[in-house]
């Protein structure tokens, strides 16, 4: 075979190779997250007092929780998207996120008078939280599920759930900058419900679209 023909064959082979799954996942996030960010900025808006509360530990905790869940979701997606790769240590990151939440809730229960527990848990935008987190997560979830079709996961449902967890955590992170309810009790209830709803949606859709 002539050198020119060999070079052409190698170039054609490289051109037809699929994008590595980790790179494809990040490309999906680059496609989906800006849409969610646009919804936040133009439809919801960032809370007007954000520069006043930005150093408030309760406000910052919302991002500590959502970003730790985001990291766990991303790690799970990258592992479960490939055949023969168990969730493994990625579940430990999810446990860290849950541990942070439990620690914050316990602290809140100790510091806050018991008569204020229920108002702090209910807040004033519980329904909005449950609706808007999945809304902000929709575009990232769609992009991730589309991308994971090329990954051949062993368990389509688990991979879909991981994508839902990641997308839900993205939605929660964005929503946290809009939400004026900063109590860990509120976060532990309504943020978790919102993220869980997206995780279940990912599980259901993943079981259908990620089969191979």
Q: What is the pLDDT of residues 125-182, one digit of tens each?
A: 899 999 999 999 999 999 999 998 876 788 899 999 999 999 999 999 999 999 999 9
Evaluate whether residue 2 is within a structural domain: no
Evaluate whether residue 123 is within a structural domain: yes
User: In this model, does residue 19 exceed pLDDT 70?
Assistant: no
Evaluate whether residue 189 is within a structural domain: yes
Q: Residue 60's pLDDT band (boundaries 50, 70, 90)?
A: very high
Into how many domains does the chain fold?
1
Evaluate whether residue 15 is within a structural domain: no
Evaluate whether residue 178 is within a structural domain: yes
**CA 106/CA 96 separation, integer angstroms:** 15
Q: Residue 10's pLDDT band (boundaries 50, 70, 90)?
A: very low
How many beta carbons lie within 10 A of that of residue 194, not counting itself? 25
Domain that holds residue 83: 20-45+53-209
Instruction: Tell me which DSSP letter residue 180 carries.
Output: -
pTM comes to: 0.89
Contacts 24+ apart (CB under 8 A), 78-82: 78/21, 78/22, 78/25, 80/153, 80/154, 80/155, 80/158, 80/159, 80/162, 81/21, 81/25, 81/148, 81/151, 81/153, 81/159, 82/21, 82/151, 82/152, 82/153
């Amino acid at each position: 075979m002539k050198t020119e023909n060999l070079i052409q064959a190698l170039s054609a082979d490289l051109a037809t190779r699929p994008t590595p799954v980790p790179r494809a996942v990040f490309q999906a996030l680059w496609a989906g997250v800006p849409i969610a960010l646009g919804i936040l900025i133009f439809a919801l808006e960032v809370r007007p007092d954000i520069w006043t509360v930005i150093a408030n530990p309760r406000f910052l905790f919302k991002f500590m929780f959502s970003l730790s869940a985001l990291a766990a979701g991303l790690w799970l997606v990258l592992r479960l998207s490939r055949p023969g790769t168990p969730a493994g240590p990625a579940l430990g990151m999810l446990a860290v996120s849950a541990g942070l939440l439990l620690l914050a809730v316990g602290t809140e229960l100790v510091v806050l008078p018991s008569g204020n527990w229920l108002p702090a848990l209910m807040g004033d935008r519980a329904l909005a939280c449950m609706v808007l987190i999945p809304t902000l997560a929709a575009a990232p979830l769609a992009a991730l599920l589309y991308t994971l079709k090329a990954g051949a996961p062993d368990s389509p449902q688990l991979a879909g759930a991981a994508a839902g967890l990641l997308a839900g955590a993205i939605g929660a992170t964005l929503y946290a900058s809009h939400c004026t309810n900063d109590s860990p009790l509120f976060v532990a209830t309504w943020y978790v419900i919102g993220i869980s709803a997206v995780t279940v949606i990912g599980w259901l859709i993943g079981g259908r679209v990620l089969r191979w």
